[in-house]
Amino acid sequence: MVKHPLFLLIASVLCLAVGLYLESSYLEIFASVIGIANVWLLAREKVLNFIFGIIAVACFLIIFMQQGLYAMSILSVIQIGFNVYGWYYWLQSKGEADVRPTVRLSVPGWIKYLVAIVILWALWAYYQVTYTDASRPYIDAFNAVIGLVAQFMLSKKILENWHLWILANVLSIIIYLQTGLYVMIILAAINLCLCIQGLIEWKRNYDALGSRKRIV
């Protein structure tokens, strides 16, 4: 059901209706709808997702700046760059397929990314606590780092990006509850469902590669 176009339509209408009911900003509503389309296309491995991703992230940048979520604002700027890079990378060395094949992380690969996450989180949180008036420096920094690494892994078409996106959406729901961004809570909940479906679908497609499967 999640991968059916009807899900995308229902989810978008739900965000629009709730946003208007709660008198949320038009930017928040628009970003939420575009964000849902982005993740839905991504789960289908459609390169078109990057266009929607660039638009959605640009909107989130404005929203995060207004809420004092500076780490997530910086993340948004970097994510725009990763979306552009991912758009290019997915179309390279794809052979006869629509996009290049998915790869998976080895145990050393996971260790490398986890160490990077911990170090970046510590540095980012320290900077926010010391030099900014960020409203929620620790969870903001952690979510930003998770999103940053997940976006990089997505751009490289690494399957495990979905694990990090699932965690990022859970953290986002907590942040949005604390800051009153209720329409974006719906977005995060819908995206959480899409990320779980994306993980299942990418794993199925990866397994179908057989001898062409790659681990990095």
DSSP string over 90-120: HTTT-TTSSSPPPEE--HHHHHHHHHHHHHH
| pLDDT attached to residue 109 | 92
pTM of the model: 0.82
Q: % helix / strand / coil in the chain, to the nearest 5?
A: 80, 0, 20
| pLDDT, tens digit (0-9, with 9 covering 90-100), for 63-88 | 888 887 776 788 788 889 999 999 98
Tell me the domain boundaries of the chain.
Answer: 5-215
| pLDDT attached to residue 168 | 93
Percent residues over pLDDT 90 in the chain: 36
| pLDDT, tens digit (0-9, with 9 covering 90-100), for 139-169 | 888 988 998 899 899 999 999 999 999 999 9
